[in-house]
């Protein structure tokens, strides 16, 4: 039986991805491993390993949402997971509602929600223990218009995320 490592995400369009990359380029040199540009995303709901037979039901939960914008306007170093993230100083009620609605449906399919509150964030680099003082981040306004189901795969070049639906 084959398992797929899955999560739901906000997946950037090309312009948003380019803006994230450009903003991050302004932070270099960084002490950790930058996330591959093609992998930059916002995790909405992490599922973990899922049987292939369940893919179709899950894919049906992905799709368009009424557009809204999140301003990723600050940097945070999360010391325990050692990730450098872009976050928002504003609450994101629309994103939170999407996450809640998704988890209601996932709950019925037997998936368990992480008890930690949802914090929209873009992981920019991993294995970051410290950053230079005075790092400047350029705000990235990200307009969300869909939720994607994404598969996390491991290739020779490292982890790679592939949007499925």
Number of residues binding to ligand ATP, judged by CB under 6 A: 8
**From residue 96, how far is each of 19, 73, 85, 92 by CA, in Å?**
23, 18, 18, 6
Map the footprint of ligand ATP across residues 8-67, applying CB under 6 A. 43, 46
CB of 5 to ligand ATP, least distance (A): 5
Q: Which is nearer to ligand ATP, 13 or 114 (CB)?
A: 114
- Among 42, 29, 7, 36, CA closest to 165: 7
Of 44, 72, 121, 140, which is the active-site residue?
A: 121
Q: What residues contact residue 65 under an 8 Å CB cut-off, 6+ apart?
A: 94, 98, 144, 145, 146, 147
> Known catalytic residue: 4?
no
Residue 114 engages ligand ATP in binding (rule: CB under 6 A): yes
Write out the residues near ligand ATP by the rule CB under 6 A: 5, 7, 43, 46, 114, 123, 152, 159
């Amino acid at each position: 039986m084959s398992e797929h490592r899955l999560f739901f995400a906000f997946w950037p369009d090309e312009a948003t991805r380019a803006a994230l990359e450009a903003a991050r380029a302004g932070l270099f040199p960084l002490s950790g491993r930058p996330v591959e540009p093609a992998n930059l995303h916002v995790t909405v709901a992490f599922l973990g390993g899922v049987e292939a037979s369940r893919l179709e039901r899950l894919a049906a939960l992905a799709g368009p949402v009424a557009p809204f914008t999140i301003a990723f306007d600050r940097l945070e170093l999360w010391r325990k997971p050692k990730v450098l993230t872009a976050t928002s100083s504003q609450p994101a009620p629309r994103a939170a509602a999407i996450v809640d609605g998704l988890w209601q449906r996932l709950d019925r399919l037997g998936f368990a929600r992480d008890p930690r509150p949802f914090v929209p964030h873009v992981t920019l680099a991993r294995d970051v223990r410290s950053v230079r003082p005075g790092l400047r981040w350029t705000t990235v306004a990200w307009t969300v218009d869909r939720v994607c189901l994404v598969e996390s795969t491991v290739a020779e070049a490292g982890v790679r995320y592939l949007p499925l639906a």
